[in-house]
């Protein structure tokens, strides 16, 4: 059965006339369609009622919330029909921490959505930092379906430009919903819901073409695929059907300042009109739409994180310094796209807490040599214009009289401030390199190869220790890697060379199936991760061995 839910009768009434529905308890029913109307009793009641209905009716496989939403940007015009792909909740302009991801429906328009707990807020310039559309009930419906593990969809129509207009006013404002298009969507869902095989394929792939679903159903039946084999098939479908990743440049970002941060450490000019002071950064960080804002905050809790084994030049562990999240660049393969809920840069300004965390770690961990990494969860040098943390960090590590190393990992060529410092054997400027063909294809907004090599030469001439990081290595480009390796052989102060193959753990892989599945082609489950096959990695390690005297392989 398919459950169709609406907050107001006025929103769904044109659809009701198209089905011979009969009242049964608090539902209207016909065949495998059931309709629940909340009659304007508000979102919390809607969420409670949907939870109760879904808990009592095991036969309901799909639940759909239908209604109207206001647009927050020019991409969503009045009359547009769309599905929600992520739903968020906001109260008094403060986002609630837990956004909800919704199923992706292929071939249909989709939107990030905000539900407002309080009265309508028509400050579209602010709200558009978080979503494309706004309403009052989608979040509570999504929360209800998730709480009872039911397949839920949010299907909406743009009725206005977030004017706060009540649903009862739609007719007077000459708003007309494309009822035929909505009915076509509902009829497809009713057909899918009736067939358990079609429903499973739809649920795991998002394919909404009935003919394609039936064709896949025949293939599954013919090959008698087990559930495990079907899951592998669905992953392949997602990867093969995904479109190339479209990078989004940060332009005129809003600035969010956590209360209490040391503003004197911020190196950029801040436009007061687009600056917002907040109590705590975490909810904003996880709810903002990708690459819409820049956040300055004080880090709480974890300042260092132990790296995996086989991460360092001595094939042991080290510590990542969590001084920033995300990046100014937008590499297609970046694991941070899946690791965090949003891809907005965050810079932490409470430097002293990081220095103390390093000191405390050195007291407890007597392993030597010991490596610390800046740039594991960001790009260390690209943030140089935003704050002076790395310069302060370099000076701090130069004062440590032990076999301790600091590595600044980067794709940036912004080395002006660093090059003014005195070099030290303990400080490694580690540049991530790839052939230009890969930079062009995957490493969006980064400096090109020649600019990075020029930055390396400048630091090398000044006496800085240089690290070269071929990570990730993409197979099938060995001629280009050969040429690039020949270019780095002239580095005088070469500390180390690392190679690491494209790889993701299970969680990052699952997230990238949603965000950028095309990058996952050729990766298979191997050694607890998704990566290139063992023989292909071994082949490339052998090739690199012939090209270089010394290097280490990361996480092999």
SS (H, E, C) 8-32: CHHHHHHHHCCCCCEEECCEEEECC
Residues 305 and 190 in one domain: no
Tell how strand 133-135 and strand 62-71 pair up: antiparallel
Residue pair 379/330 in contact by the 8 Å Cβ criterion: no
Residues 304 and 189 in one domain: no
Query: In 3-state terms, what secondary structure has residue 87?
Result: strand
- Whether 222 is covered by a domain: the verdict is no
User: Where in the sequence is the domain holding 325, given as residue range(s)?
Assistant: 300-553
pLDDT of res. 170: 52
Residues in the chain: 556
pLDDT of res. 379: 94
pLDDT of res. 175: 66
- Whether 319 is covered by a domain: the verdict is yes
pLDDT of res. 40: 93
Residue pair 102/43 in contact by the 8 Å Cβ criterion: no
Q: What is the pTM of this model?
A: 0.92
- Whether 249 is covered by a domain: the verdict is no
Residues 187 and 311 in one domain: no
CATH code (residue 312): 3.80.30.30
Q: What is the pLDDT of residues 454-513, one digit of tens each?
A: 999 999 999 999 999 999 999 989 999 999 999 999 999 999 999 999 999 998 998 888
Q: b/e for 303-314, b at 16 or more Cβ within 10 A?
A: bbeebeeebbbe
Residues 190 and 309 in one domain: no
Query: Helix axis angle, 506-515 relative to 227-241, nearest 10°?
Result: 50
CA-CA distance, 19 to 15, in Å (whole number)?
7
Residues 25 and 160 in one domain: yes
The number of angstroms, rounded, from the C-alpha of 542 to the middle of its chain's C-alpha atoms is: 34
Q: Which of 147, 167, 194 delimits the end of a domain?
A: 194
Query: Helix axis angle, 179-194 relative to 210-223, nearest 10°?
Result: 10
CA-CA distance, 467 to 374, in Å (whole number)?
13
- Whether 219 is covered by a domain: the verdict is no
The one-digit pLDDT tens for each residue of the chain (556 residues) are 999 999 999 899 999 999 999 999 999 999 999 999 999 999 999 999 999 999 999 999 999 999 999 999 999 999 999 999 999 999 999 999 999 999 999 999 999 999 999 888 889 999 999 999 999 999 999 999 999 999 999 999 999 888 765 544 554 455 678 999 999 999 999 999 999 999 999 999 999 999 999 999 999 999 999 999 999 999 999 999 988 888 888 888 999 999 999 999 999 988 888 999 999 999 999 999 999 999 999 999 999 999 999 999 999 999 999 999 999 999 999 988 778 878 999 999 999 999 999 999 999 999 999 999 999 999 999 988 899 999 999 999 999 988 999 999 999 999 999 999 999 999 999 999 999 999 999 999 999 999 999 999 999 999 999 999 999 999 989 999 999 999 999 999 999 999 999 999 998 998 888 888 999 999 999 888 999 999 999 999 999 999 998 899 998 8
Q: Which of 147, 162, 194 delimits the end of a domain?
A: 194
N- to C-terminal Cα separation, the chain: 49
pLDDT of res. 332: 92
How many domains does the chain divide into?
2
CA-CA distance, 77 to 59, in Å (whole number)?
36
**Burial (CB count within 10 angstroms: exposed 0-12, middle 13-18, buried 19+), residue 506:** exposed
Tell how strand 293-297 and strand 254-258 pair up: parallel
Q: Which of 165, 194, 223 delimits the end of a domain?
A: 194
Q: What is the pLDDT of residues 352-402, one digit of tens each?
A: 999 999 999 999 999 999 999 999 999 999 988 899 999 999 999 999 988
pLDDT of res. 35: 98
- 325 sits in the region (left: phi over 0; alpha: psi -120 to 50; else beta) called beta
- Whether 116 is covered by a domain: the verdict is yes
CA distances from 285 to 87, 282, 295 (A): 15, 5, 8
Neighbours of 535 (CB within 10 A): 8
Does 369 sit behind a cis peptide bond, omega within 30 degrees of 0 on the bond before it?
yes
CATH code (residue 143): 3.40.50.1580
- Whether 122 is covered by a domain: the verdict is yes
Q: b/e for 442-471, b at 16 or more Cβ within 10 A?
A: bbbebbebeebbebbeebbeeebbbbbbbb
Query: In 3-state terms, what secondary structure has residue 350?
Result: coil
pLDDT of res. 243: 84
**Comparing C-alpha atoms, which of 341, 309, 339, 302 is closest to residue 323?**
302
Residue 196 token pair: 């358990």
CA 156-341-250 angle, to 5 degrees, is 90
- Whether 255 is covered by a domain: the verdict is no
pLDDT of res. 398: 93
- Whether 108 is covered by a domain: the verdict is yes
CA distances from 49 to 62, 87, 193, 356, 394 (A): 16, 19, 22, 51, 58
Helices assigned H by DSSP within 167-289: 179-194, 196-205, 210-223, 227-241, 281-287
Q: b/e for 165-202, b at 16 or more Cβ within 10 A?
A: bebeebeeeebebeeeebeebbebbbbbbeeebbbbbb
């Amino acid at each position: 059965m398919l459950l169709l839910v609406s907050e107001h009768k006025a929103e769904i009434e044109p659809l009701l006339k198209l089905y011979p529905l009969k009242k049964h308890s608090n539902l209207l029913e016909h065949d495998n369609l059931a309709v629940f109307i909340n009659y304007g009793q508000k979102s919390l009641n809607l969420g409670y009622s949907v939870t109760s209905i879904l808990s009592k009716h095991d036969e309901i496989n799909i639940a759909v919330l239908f209604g109207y939403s206001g647009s927050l940007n020019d991409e969503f015009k009045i009359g547009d029909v769309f599905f929600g792909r992520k739903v968020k909740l906001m109260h008094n302009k403060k986002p609630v921490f837990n956004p909800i991801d919704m199923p992706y429906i292929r071939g249909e328009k989709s939107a990030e959505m905000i539900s407002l707990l309080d009265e309508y807020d028509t400050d579209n310039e602010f709200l558009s930092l978080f979503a494309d559309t706004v309403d009052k009930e989608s979040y509570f419906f999504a929360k209800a379906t998730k709480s009872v593990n039911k397949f839920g969809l949010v299907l909406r129509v743009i009725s206005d430009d977030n004017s706060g207009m009540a649903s009862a006013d739609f007719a007077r404002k000459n708003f007309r919903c494309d009822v035929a298009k909505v009915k076509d969507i509902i009829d497809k869902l009713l057909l899918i819901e009736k067939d358990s095989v079609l429903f499973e394929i739809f649920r795991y792939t998002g394919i909404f073409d009935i003919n394609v679903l039936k064709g896949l159903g025949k293939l599954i039946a013919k090959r008698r695929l087990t559930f495990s084999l079907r899951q592998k098939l669905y992953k392949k479908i997602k990867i093969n059907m995904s479109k190339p990743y479209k990078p989004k440049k940060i332009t005129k970002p809003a600035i969010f300042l956590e209360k209490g941060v040391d503003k004197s450490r911020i190196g950029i000019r801040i436009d007061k009109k687009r600056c917002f002071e907040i109590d705590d950064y975490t909810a904003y960080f996880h709810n903002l739409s990708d690459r819409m804002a820049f956040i300055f905050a004080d880090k709480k809790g974890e300042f260092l994180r132990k790296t995996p084994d086989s991460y360092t030049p001595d094939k042991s562990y080290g510590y990542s310094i969590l001084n920033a999240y995300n990046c100014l660049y937008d590499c297609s393969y970046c694991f941070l796209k899946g690791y965090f809920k949003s891809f907005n840069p965050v810079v932490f300004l409470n430097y002293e807490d990081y220095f103390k965390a390093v000191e405390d770690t050195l007291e407890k961990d007597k392993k030597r040599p010991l490596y610390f990494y800046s740039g594991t969860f960001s790009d260390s040098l690209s943030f140089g214009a935003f704050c002076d943390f790395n310069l302060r960090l370099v000076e701090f590590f130069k004062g440590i009289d032990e076999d301790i190393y600091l590595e600044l990992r980067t794709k940036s060529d912004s080395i002006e401030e660093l090059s003014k410092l005195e070099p030290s054997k303990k400080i490694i400027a580690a540049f991530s390199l790839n052939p230009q063909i890969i930079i062009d294809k995957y490493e969006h907004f980064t400096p090109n190869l020649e600019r990075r090599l020029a930055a390396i030469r400048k630091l090398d001439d000044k006496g800085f220790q240089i690290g070269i990081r071929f990570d990730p290595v993409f197979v099938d480009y060995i001629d280009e890697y050969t040429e690039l390796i020949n270019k780095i052989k002239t580095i005088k102060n070469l500390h180390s060379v690392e190679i690491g193959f494209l790889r993701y753990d299970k969680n990052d892989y699952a997230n990238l199936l949603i965000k950028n599945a095309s990058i996952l082609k050729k990766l298979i489950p191997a050694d607890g991760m998704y990566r290139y096959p063992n023989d292909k990695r071994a082949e490339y390690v052998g090739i690199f061995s012939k090209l270089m005297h010394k290097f280490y392989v990361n996480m092999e």
